[in-house]
Structure 1
Amino acid sequence: MSVADKLTSRLPMIGERGERKDVVAVVKLHGVITPTPSPLARGSINLAAVESALTRAFAHERLKAVALQINSPGGAPTQSGLVAERIRQLADEKKVPVLAFAEDVAASGGYWLACAADEIYAHRTSMVGSIGVISGGFGFTGLLERFGIERRLHTAGANKSRLDPFSPEKPEDVEWLKKMHGQLHELFVDWVTERRGDRLSGSDDLFNGDVWLGARAVELGLIDGVGSLRQVITERYPDAEISVAEPKKPLLARLGIGAPAAASALLDAVQSKAAWSRFGL
C-alpha cells in the first residue's frame, strides 16, 4: 500500500462521522460582586467581566441548558441585577433552561444571581440566602484630631456630603441610609418572589438576612434540591458534554503579575476579605 493510500484510508468516509453531542454550558460566577474589581482581591463579578462568558455559553448550536456555578458572598446590588437580567435575556432569546449551583456560598447578591436560573441546587454544606442589605464604612474623625489634621470640605447642596467618613456621623444621614436599605431590600424580596413564586415556604424568617445550609434551604423553597453540578447535569442530560465558559481575567492576572500594593487596592482587598469572612470563608 502506498503512502497516499495509507493516508486516504485514515480519512473518515461520508456518513462515518458521528453526530455532534448536545452541550450543557457552564458559566463560573465566582467572587465578590463589584463594579470596581481589585487586582489584589479574590475574584470579582460584574457585567463587564462576565458578558463574554455568558455570550459564549449561550451561543452553542446544540445547547441543551446553561449551568451557573456560583460561589459569591454578594456585593453591589446594581451589578447583581445587571448580570441576572442579562442571563434572563439570553435564556429567553435562546429558549433554554438555566440551572444554578451554589458552591461554598450563594448569599445576598450571590443568591440574587442564582434566582436568574429556572432551578437552583446546592451542596448540603452550601450557605444560601442572606436576603437583606448591608453597607459599611469607616469613621476617621478621631484619627484626624489625633494628628492635628484639618478637614476642608466644600459642597453645593445641603446633602452632598452625606456619610463623609472624615466628618462626625449625623442621625439624619443614618436615617436616610436606612430608608435606602429598605427600598433595596424591597426590590430584593420582589425579585426572589418573582423568580421563586409558590416554591417559597412563606416562613417569617425568609427575608431577614439569615443564611441556611442546603437541606434547610430546600425546606424554605430557596432552592430546588441538594446536589452537585456534575451529579445533576449527568442525571438530567446523560448524553451531553459539558463546556465551561469562564469570565476573562485581567491581563496582569493572566500573566501572574500582581498590581502594586497601593492604599486603595489594599482597602479593596480588605473589603473583599470582609465580605467572604461573614460566612467563615
Structure 2
Amino acid sequence: MSDPMTPGASPQDPSPSAAAGLQPGWERQAMERLMFATLAEQRKARRWRNFTRLAWLAFLVFLTWTFLYRGAPKADKTLPHTAVVEIKGEIADGADASAEFVVAAVRAAFEDEGAKGIVLLINSPGGSPVQAGIINDEVRRLRAKYNKPVYAVVEETCASAAYYIASAADKIYVDKASIVGSIGVLMDGFGFTGLMEKLGVERRLLTAGENKGFLDPFTPMTDKQRAYAQTMLEQIHKQFIDVVKAGRGKRLKDSPELFSGLFWTGQQAVDMGLADQLANLDFVAREVIKAEELVDYTRRENVAERLAKRFGAAIGEGAVRAMRSVPSVR
C-alpha cells in the first residue's frame, strides 16, 4: 500500500479536508462568514455611534430649552405693561432683525390686551430697504388696527433702514449722543478691469443679454449701465424719503441736507425734527406709556434652533453625499 502523502499517491486517495469530513470549498465559506460577521459588527458600531450622537444632541437641546425658557421667570402678559421689541444689528433676511422675526414680535405685542404701548428698541446701522419696508408697513397697519401707540427708542444707532422703520412710530426718542439719519441708498462693489489689463489677464464672460453682466467686477461698466443703476437708486431713495415724510410730517425742518445721506447726533436729530425728545426706554415706559413693567416680545433664533439648523444641514449634506456615492444604472 502506498503512502497517501508520497508523490506517487493515487488520485482517488482522500485529501486532508476530505479525511476530516469537510466539504470542498470550506475555506471560502469560512472567509465569507468572517467577512459578513465583521460587516455586521461595523454596522452595529455605526448605529450605536449615531444613536449616541443623537442622544447627546437631544440632551443639549433640552438643557438649552430649560435654561432659556423654563429657567427664566415669565412676566404676566395679562397685566398692564410696555411691550418691547428689539431691532438690533443688521436688518436682513435671516438675521435677528429680519422682517420675519420683527413682524412676528410686533404682531404678538399688539394682540396682547395687557400691552398698553409698543416700544421699538433700536440699535442698528441699517440694512435691506425691502426688509425695512415690510416692517414699516406692518407697524403702521397694526397701529391703526389696534389703536395702540408705538414709540421708537434709539440706543447707539438708528441709521438708514433702521430709521426707515423708526419713522413708522408715533414718536422717536433718542440719546443725545445717538447716531441718527443716513437717509440715503447705496450700491457698492469693486472694479478690477485696470488691474487685469496690467497683469495680462483676460476675462471670458459669456452672456445672453447685453446687460446681463454689467455688475461683474471684471467687466467695464458703460455710461448707459451706470445711468440705469443710478436711476434705480434714486427711485429707492425717493421711496425712503416719502416714507419718512409720511411718518414725521410737519415735524421735519426744511434743510437741503436732510435727505443727503448724512447722519447726526441725537441732539441734532431733535433739532432737525428727525426725533422728538431725549429719553430712554425706562422713561418712555414710565412717563409716556404709563406702564413701568417691561415685557420683551423680541423674536430671536435661540441656541437650540441654531443647533437644529446646523444639525439638519449636516444631515442633508450627508444625505446628498450618500446619494452621490450610490452607483446608478445609465
Same topology, TM > 0.5 = yes
Deviation of the 1:240 alpha carbon: 4.3
Corresponding residue number in structure 2 for 1:178: 230
Distance between the aligned counterparts of 2:195 and 2:296, measured in 1? 49
Corresponding residue number in structure 1 for 2:170: 118
Distance between the aligned counterparts of 1:123 and 1:254, measured in 2? 33
1:130 lines up with 2:182 in the alignment: yes
1:34 lines up with 2:92 in the alignment: yes
8 Å CA contact 2:82–2:291 kept in 1: the answer is no
Query: Greater strand share, 1 or 2?
Result: 1
Once the two structures are superposed, residues 228-260 of structure 1 have per-residue CA deviations (whole angstroms, 9 ceiling, x without a partner) of: 11112111234442111122216577559999x
Distance between the aligned counterparts of 2:257 and 2:195, measured in 1? 40
1:236 lines up with 2:294 in the alignment: no
Q: Can you give the 5+ residue segments of structure 2 that lack an aligned partner in the other structure? A: 1-77, 312-330
Deviation of the 1:78 alpha carbon: 1.1
8 Å CA contact 2:89–2:124 kept in 1: the answer is yes
Once the two structures are superposed, residues 192-216 of structure 1 have per-residue CA deviations (whole angstroms, 9 ceiling, x without a partner) of: 1111111111122211111111111
Once the two structures are superposed, residues 85-117 of structure 1 have per-residue CA deviations (whole angstroms, 9 ceiling, x without a partner) of: 111122222110100011111011110010011
Distance between the aligned counterparts of 2:250 and 2:182, measured in 1? 19
Corresponding residue number in structure 2 for 1:24: 82
Percent identity between matched residues is 40
Distance between the aligned counterparts of 2:80 and 2:304, measured in 1? 35
Corresponding residue number in structure 2 for 1:68: 120
Larger of the two Rg values belongs to structure: 2
Distance between the aligned counterparts of 2:91 and 2:201, measured in 1? 35
8 Å CA contact 2:116–2:291 kept in 1: the answer is no
Q: Secondary structure, in 3 states, of the residue corresponding to 2:152?
A: strand
Deviation of the 1:36 alpha carbon: 5.1
Q: Which residue of 73, 79, 82 maps to 2:134?
A: 82
Corresponding residue number in structure 1 for 2:242: 190
Task: Output the amino acid matched with 2:178.
Answer: S
What is the number of equivalent residue pairs in this alignment? Answer: 235
**Structure number with higher relative contact order (C-alpha < 8 Å, ≥ 6 residues apart):** 1
Distance between the aligned counterparts of 2:304 and 2:186, measured in 1? 31
Corresponding residue number in structure 1 for 2:320: none
Root mean square deviation of aligned Cα: 2.7
8 Å CA contact 1:26–1:66 kept in 2: the answer is yes
Distance between the aligned counterparts of 1:181 and 1:249, measured in 2? 32
8 Å CA contact 2:282–2:292 kept in 1: the answer is no
TM-score normalised by L of structure 2? 0.65
Query: Greater helix share, 1 or 2?
Result: 2
